[in-house]
Chain A
Amino acid sequence: MDSQERILLKVEGLKKYFPVRRGFFQRTAAHIKAVDGVDFAIAEGKSVGLVGESGCGKSTVARVILKLLEPDAGRIVYKGRDITPLSPKEMKPLRKEMQIVFQDPFSSLNPRMTVGQSIEEGLRILGLSKNRRQGRRDELLEMVGLSAMTADRYPHEFSGGQRQRVGVARALSVESSLIICDEPISALDVSIQAQIINLLKDLQDRLDLSYLFISHDLNVVGYLSDTVAVMYLGHVVEYARADTLFEDPRHPYTRVLLSAVPSVEADLTSKIKTLKGEVPSPMDPPPGCKFQGRCPLVEPRCKQGEIDFSRVGEDHLVRCWKAT
């Protein structure tokens, strides 16, 4: 998809099903298809945005890439190496390169550890000496805009935005090259959101980081990402460069999402297309296009067979008949 740039992370046909157990013997009665076919690639120093509504499997993708959950199918290729079959032990050396910033800044820090200890944890596991750890810790705190003096404080003494800065510092503590941001700003006040986004953007420029930026907010994703993948019910429905996606959205779902982005101009609000119906259960998605039940353009052939990506432009893939 990205031809010249060096690919840092490539995800192909990723699937993760959660078993639903029922009855006395806990038999597996069904599967929740949380992630059902996700493909994208992140180039070095670039960002990919992953957008979609609640429950579409965005966070599961993050956890599967970090191997916190084992994928059921598909490949995760990091720096040209397939990390899918690696055991936890084999993953350990790679841990320092892939980090995560969580959504909720309140539960993502251990309340019984000082923020300094939280930041140092990765370094401690790498076996750095106390002096080097503390030096790095102070440097990181300054880097994310906190004072090095705060290292001895406990998380409850910080505000949400400050905690999220600590979360970013923790993610940067090791030699991270890929940072997965799992809705890093959705739990923060609007005024703080901008600060954190600017911090992330600034750090990317300075440290040449790659981001997988997960959000349900298209504005934020558009601002931070080079490429955007739109997810619906466990799979990617549209994949394009950020500017292309905003100018020329092809999938009906993307169009609806874009029309729902809040705007300052009042007259635009009247044009919001609202979707009818509910997201189908991920336990038993409809055959064919998963969006068929809510799509304004639905026709009979949408209800048969899996729909593949069709290329509609340079680096622009859509999972829809109507798009071509």
Chain B
Amino acid sequence: MAEETFRTETKGMERYPGLTAFLEGWGIFRQSLLGKIGLVLLIMFALMALCSYIPPLIDPMYNPMTGVDPVITCSTGPSRAHWLGTDFMGRDILSQLLAGARVAFMVGVSAAFMSIVLGTAIGMTAGYMGRFMDTFLMRLADMIMVMPTLLVVLILAAVFGQLNIWTIVLIIALFRWPGVSRIIRGQTLSLKQRPFIEAAKVAGASHVRIIFRHIMPNVLPLAFLFMTFRVTSAIIIEAALAFLGFGDPGTVSWGMMLQWVWKTGHMFKAPYWLLPPGICISLITLSFYMLGRAMDEVLDPRLRKEDQTD
């Protein structure tokens, strides 16, 4: 009886493909402590990123890059005007921190998204076409996978001088697809053998139709799961790069803030300046990781706890 009422309730929603699956997934996600912590942290950072637009509106001196407090000429601790203090030339650390959250999201999400799109496309092509294409693409993936991304970006930065933040994003994406494509290829290989693909062929479906209508919808959840892990690695790479002094000098990222602390010799003198960006980098990567782990549980029934009756 209960099931009957459930059916009638969800009937309207079933017209929207994916919505029922989403709600089902959300039910499982909600039970994961890791996922909840991750989500709360992530919402916090998202709010920080949104708030980053506010300080420059209050006073131009709160502009994270160019705003300088006219009365301050060296790094000062927290005060009423600067809640987290100022850096060596009197810029507000709080507004820098907020701007850094925006940059972290931008870098993390866009680099991850690009590498996922690339990895999924290449993985599906390799898995579906097989033979020569498979061998070629996978050996290419192997070659890129063994290259240390950070080192390659450092070399590129050394060769081409200062890199624009979008160039950095693009390079991270270009070096981070092989892991995704391997997973997607494996999934495609297994899907390719399923009878519903044969049924589509018997119905006269073209290869393009089979790839986009039958294989892609079945690998996308996995691709998005990997996106959360890729976000983490993209943020870390960008931070490391900026800290080492190869970041985009026109962007205030947390890595950049750490670099300023270090370069101006405030490493052990100004904890109010050193700690916030450091903690933020750790927490944002942690939150994406926890989110990914929780989503893993949603997508892979084998990882679910025993007591969940379904």
Contacts and interface: CB of A to CB of B under 8 A. Distances in A.
Contact of A125 (B20, B195, B205): B205
A102 B195 contact: yes
Interface string A115-147: 000100110011000000000000000000000
Interface string B180-222: 0000000000000011101111111100010001100110000
Contacts of A98: 202
A153 B17 CA distance: 9
B133 to A, nearest CB: 16
Contacts of A113: 213-214, 217
A54 interface: no
A104 interface: yes
Contacts of A306: none
B14 interface: yes
A100 B218 contact: no
B218 A111 contact: yes
B196 A110 contact: yes
Q: Classify the interface of chain B: helix, strand, loop or mixed.
A: helix
Contacts of B14: 152-154
Contacts of B213: 110, 113, 121
Contacts of A154: 14, 20-21
Given A107-B194, A110-B214, A154-B20, A170 B205 contact: no
A95 interface: yes
B15 interface: yes
B217 A112 contact: yes
A170 B199 contact: yes
Contacts of A167: 199
B201 A109 contact: no
A92 interface: yes
A63 B197 CA distance: 13
A68 B201 contact: yes
A285 to B, nearest CB: 26
Contacts of B194: 107-108
Contacts of B201: 68
A66 interface: yes
A162 interface: no
Nearest to B14: A152
B202 A110 contact: no
Contact of B203 (A107, A112, A122): A122
B15 A100 contact: no
Most chain A CB neighbours (cut-off 10 Å) among B20, B21, B196, B202: B202
Nearest to A107: B194
A102 B213 CA distance: 20
B204 A68 contact: no
A43 interface: no
B195 A68 contact: no
A302 to B, nearest CB: 38
B209 A95 contact: no
Given A107-B196, A109-B196, A95 B204 contact: yes
Nearest to A105: B195
Interface of B: 14-15, 17, 20-21, 194-196, 198-205, 209, 213-214, 217-218
- Going nearest first, the 8 A-B pairs with the smallest beta carbon separation are A95-B204, A122-B203, A108-B195, A112-B217, A102-B195, A110-B196, A107-B194, A125-B204
Given A109-B199, A110-B217, 11 more contacts: A95-B202, A95-B204, A99-B202, A100-B199, A107-B194, A107-B196, A112-B17, A113-B213, A121-B203, A122-B203, A170-B199
